[in-house]
Structure 1
Amino acid sequence: MGQYKKEKLESLYQEIVSKFFLKEASIPGVLFAITKVEISENLNRLTVYISIWPDDKEKNMLESFEKLKGSLRAHVGDKINPKFIPEIIFKLDDSEKKRLEIEKIFKKIE
């Protein structure tokens, strides 16, 4: 699969996943963002990267996402009707935390 097609597909999946979770996975006092979605070359695995705030709610939110995985796969199938629906893997995206830590270090240096 070409890079352009892969990026378009990832963008489509990210939009579908984000909209699904906005409706289905809300916990009062918890914010989350689907920061990135990666599809494997053979299209059988979809990795969804998520940022969750506050940090102490990460475990609860990931558990909620895992419980909704079957419904999400069905939703994906309804929306884009792929040849086969990929396995979905959730991963925490800690890039924002790392950025904030680096920012703190630079502020201490100044």
Structure 2
Amino acid sequence: MPHRLEKLNELIKELIGQIILKEEEFGLGVLVTVMGVKTSEDILHSNIFISVFPTEKGKFVLEKLSRHIYGLQQQLNKKLQMRPVPKIRFALDTTEAQAQELDKIM
């Protein structure tokens, strides 16, 4: 992955994390963490991987973020000093759940 793309991924991760923390409310005891960002080579799309605790709230959080994606995208557009700004999509990061499953098996 080119260095520029890595820097962009880290910047988007930081900015989206700040925006979600400031703008979104998921209820008492729900913790949402931006685990990573993967931006396409053409810089048109970014997949944002989130982790949710408790894991049972993952679908709820993903649906809420999807409903508010337009506003989140606008916030990112304002903060990111580049054009074009990648279009964002959210996905659940399942690596933690997979690690827990492996621990149970072992």
TM-score (norm 1): 0.88
- Matching residue of 2:24: 25
Query: Which whole-Å deviations, capped at 9, do the CAs of 1:56-101 have from their partners, x for residues lacking one?
Result: 2112111111122111111111112321222211111110011111
Gaps of 5+ in 2: none
Give the distance between the partners of 1:65 and 1:58, measured in 2 at CA: 11
CA deviations on 1:39-62 (whole Å, 9 max, x unpaired) are 101111010001111122112111
Single out whichever of 4-13 and 55-64 deviates more from structure 2.
55-64
Q: Which has the larger radius of gyration?
A: 1
CA RMSD of aligned residues (A): 1.3
The answer for the alignment partner of 1:63 in structure 2 is 63
Paired residues in the alignment total 105
Matches within 5 A, 1:1-110: 3-27=2-26, 28-106=28-106
Q: Which stretches of structure 1, 4 residues or more, deviate above 6 A after TM superposition?
A: none
Cα distance in 2 for residues equivalent to 1:51 and 1:100: 13
